[in-house]
Amino acid sequence: MDTTLYVALSHQAAMRRSLDLIANNIANMNTTAFRREQVMFQDYVIELDRLDVDDMKDVAFVQDYGVARDFRQGRLQQTGNPLDLAISGSGFFEVQNPETGAINYSRNGSLKITEQGTLATNTGQEVLSAGGGPIEIPADASKIDIAADGTVSTNQGVAGRIRLVTFDNEQLLEKVGDTLFSSEEQPIDAEEATLVSGMIEGSNVQPLVEMTNMMKVMRSYQSVNNTIEKYQEMRVSSMRNLGRVQ
């Protein structure tokens, strides 16, 4: 097995995966509540059959084994819309797909009132209350106020209270799209998180940092590619010289 070439290719594959995530981060730098992602790497060691050669070493390949998400809060952006909510602190909205019943979690607080009169995200996910059901807004309500503790009030009284949840390990959350996450772990109440009405949370992607990371990875990728080309040229040259000797 030509281990030198395979190790270099494993390095390139890992860097290509890193480039894909960096590009995705940049593409979503204006996506509400988007969370920056990065690849996690580790060594993949293969023990070689030493054939009684004591100084032969094991071979360590590069392997990307997962994606880590940066759950630090993004910058809050003022909109003036009372149905726009930003979460201050660690926490998520608990939302439910009205068609499938699937429960997911999101920090995207750009909300609307559906035709059925329930409070929902712009993608149609119903925001769940502390009691576990959707929050219904009266059809003839003329004013909606949402307090820091999630209490939703109208000119006709209190309609419910939005539940904010958190998890012991946020890295176990699985992305399902549209800034939504799913989890097999049971959520707990996010007691320290509060809501800010009239604002939304932006992406926590820093474009300058991502562009710098992209250039570093691309330079490293090109360096490995040059190494592979030189190694292949050396092999071809060696085979030609061997043929002349024979």
User: Which of 1-10, 52-61, 181-190 shows the lowest mean pLDDT across its residues?
Assistant: 52-61
Q: Give the pLDDT band (50/70/90) at residue 51.
A: very low
Longest dimension (CA), the chain: 97
Residue 46: pLDDT band (50, 70, 90) is low
Tell me: the pLDDT tens digits for 99-123?
899 999 999 999 999 999 999 999 9
Q: pLDDT band at 243, cuts 50/70/90?
A: low
Q: Determine contact, residues 10/62, Cβ cutoff 8 Å.
A: yes
- So where are the chain's domains? 3-71+207-245, 76-201
- The CA-atom distances, in angstroms, between 164 and each of 74, 92, 119, 170, 189 are 17, 5, 14, 14, 6
What average pLDDT does the structure give for the chain? 87
Tens of pLDDT, residue by residue over 224-236, are: 888 887 777 777 7
Rounded to an integer, the average pLDDT of 77-104 is: 95
Using DSSP, state whether 43 is helix, strand or coil: strand
Identify the three-state secondary structure at position 15.
Answer: helix
Q: Is the pLDDT of residue 238 over 80?
A: no
More confident of the two residues 170 and 49: 170
| C-alpha of 151 from chain center | 29
Mean pLDDT of 152-172: 94
SS3 of residue 206 by DSSP: coil
How do residues 195-233 score in pLDDT, each as one tens digit?
Answer: 999 999 999 999 999 999 999 999 988 888 888 877 777
Residue 97 carries which DSSP code?
-
Range from 7-21, 32-46, 95-109, 125-139 carrying the lowest mean pLDDT:
32-46
Per-residue confidence (pLDDT) for residue 178, from 0 to 100: 87
Q: Six-digit token pair at 99?
A: 């068609």
pLDDT at 60: 62
pLDDT at 16 exceeding the cut of 90: no
pLDDT of residue 110: 95
Judged against a pLDDT cut of 70, whether residue 1 lies above it is answered with no
Out of 17-21, 58-62, 144-148, 150-154, pick the least confident.
58-62
SS3 201: strand
In whole angstroms, how far apart are CA 139 and each of 113, 128, 175, 206?
Answer: 10, 19, 34, 41
Distances (CA, A) of 7 to 94, 164, 206, 225: 44, 46, 32, 12
Angle at 175 between CA 171 and CA 178, to 5 degrees: 135
What's this model's pTM, rounded to 2 decimal places? 0.81
Token pair in block for residue 19: 């480039």
More confident residue, 239 or 180: 180
Phi, psi of 9 (to 5 degrees): -65, -35
